[in-house]
Structure 1
Amino acid sequence: MGSSTDNAQEAQGALGARAARRRTPLNRSQIAGFWGAWSGWTLDGMDSFIYALVLTPALTELLPRSGYAATPANIGLAGSILFALFLVGWGLSFIWGPLADRFGRTKVLAGTIFTFAIFTGLAATASNVWELGIYRFIAGVGIGGEWALAGTYVAEAWPEDRRKMGAGYLQTGYYAGFFLAAALNYTVGVHFGWRAMFLTGAVPVVVAILVLLRVKEPEKWQKAEAKVVRSRPLRDILGPHYRRRTWVACALLTIAIVGLWAGAVYEPSAVIQLSLKAGMDKSAAIKTASLATGLLSIGTILGCLALPPMAERIGRKKTLAFYFAGMAVSIAGSFGWAFYLPNGLVPFIAWLFALGFFGGNFALFSLWLPEQFETRVRATAFAFCTSFGRFIGAGVNFLLGAAVLQMHTLGVPVALTAIAFVIGLFIVPLAPETRGDVLPQ
Structure 2
Amino acid sequence: MAVIADLKALTPAQKSSIWASYLGWTLDAFDFFLMVFMFSAVAKEFGTDVKTTAEATFFTLAARPFGALVFGLAADRFGRRPVMMIVILAFSAFSVLSAFAWSLTSLFVIRALFGFAMGGEWGIGASLVMESIPAKLRGPVSGLLQSGYPSGYFLASLVFFLLFDHIGWRGMFLIGVVPAILVFLIRMHVEESPAYEALAKKPRVNPFAALAANWKIALYLVVLMTAFNFFSHGTQDIYPTFLKAQHHLSTQTAGLIAMVMNAGAIFGGIGFGIWSERIGRKRAIIIGCLCAVPVIPLWAFSVTPVMLAVGAFLMQVAVQGAWGIVPVHLNELSPAAVRGMFPGFAYQLGNLIAARNAVIQADIAERHGGDYGLALAMVAGITLVVIIVWTAIGPERRDVDFVKEAEA
TM-score (norm 1): 0.85
- How big is the shift at 1:287? 0.6
**Alignment match, 2:37:** 53
- How big is the shift at 1:381? 1.1
Pick aligned residue for 1:399 from 360, 363, 388:
360
Q: Does 1:261 align with 2:233?
A: yes
What is the RMSD computed on CA atoms of the aligned residues? 2.0
Q: Return 5+ residue gaps in structure 2 as ranges.
A: none
Q: How many residues align?
A: 397
- How big is the shift at 1:286? 0.7
What is the distance in 2 between the residues matched to 1:22 and 1:124?
A: 43
| Kept after mapping to 2: 8 A contact 1:114/1:205 | yes
Q: Rate the CA distance shift 1:24–1:100 in 2: closer, same or farther, 3 A.
A: same
**Alignment match, 1:81:** 55
Deviations 1:263-316 (Å, cap 9, x if unpaired)? 21111111113542xxx6xxxx11111101111111011011111232122111
Q: Which letter does structure 2 place at the counterpart of 1:25?
A: A
What is the distance in 2 between the residues matched to 1:420 and 1:38?
A: 26
**Alignment match, 2:377:** 415
**Alignment match, 2:162:** 187
Q: Secondary structure at the match of 1:127?
A: coil
Q: Which letter does structure 2 place at the counterpart of 1:246?
A: A
Moved more, 404-413 or 423-432: 404-413
Q: Which has the larger radius of gyration?
A: 1
Moved more, 403-412 or 260-269: 403-412
Q: Rate the CA distance shift 1:433–1:225 in 2: closer, same or farther, 3 A.
A: same
Deviations 1:53-74 (Å, cap 9, x if unpaired)? 122112211x23xxxxx4xxx2
What is the distance in 1 between the residues matched to 2:281 and 2:195?
A: 23
What is the distance in 1 between the residues matched to 2:326 and 2:208?
A: 19
Pick aligned residue for 2:251 from 252, 267, 286:
286
What is the distance in 1 between the residues matched to 2:26 and 2:6?
A: 29
Identity of aligned residues (%): 24
Pick aligned residue for 1:172 from 142, 147, 151:
147
Q: Which letter does structure 2 place at the counterpart of 1:345?
A: P
**Alignment match, 2:182:** 207
What is the distance in 2 between the residues matched to 1:372 and 1:434?
A: 6
User: In the TM superposition, what are the counterparts of 1:326-337 in structure 2 within 5 Å?
Assistant: 326-331=291-296, 333-335=298-300, 337=301
**Alignment match, 2:348:** 387
Q: Rate the CA distance shift 1:331–1:22 in 2: closer, same or farther, 3 A.
A: closer
Q: Return 5+ residue gaps in structure 1 as ranges.
A: 1-17, 65-69
**Alignment match, 1:377:** 338
Q: Which letter does structure 2 place at the counterpart of 1:186?
A: F
Deviations 1:221-255 (Å, cap 9, x if unpaired)? 0111111x22122331332xx22222222111111
Q: Rate the CA distance shift 1:271–1:23 in 2: closer, same or farther, 3 A.
A: closer
What is the distance in 2 between the residues matched to 1:141 and 1:22?
A: 36
| Kept after mapping to 2: 8 A contact 1:115/1:142 | yes
Q: Does 1:243 align with 2:215?
A: yes
Q: Which 4+ runs in 1 deviate beyond 3 A? A: 21-24, 327-333, 395-398, 435-441
- How big is the shift at 1:113? 1.0
**Alignment match, 2:77:** 102
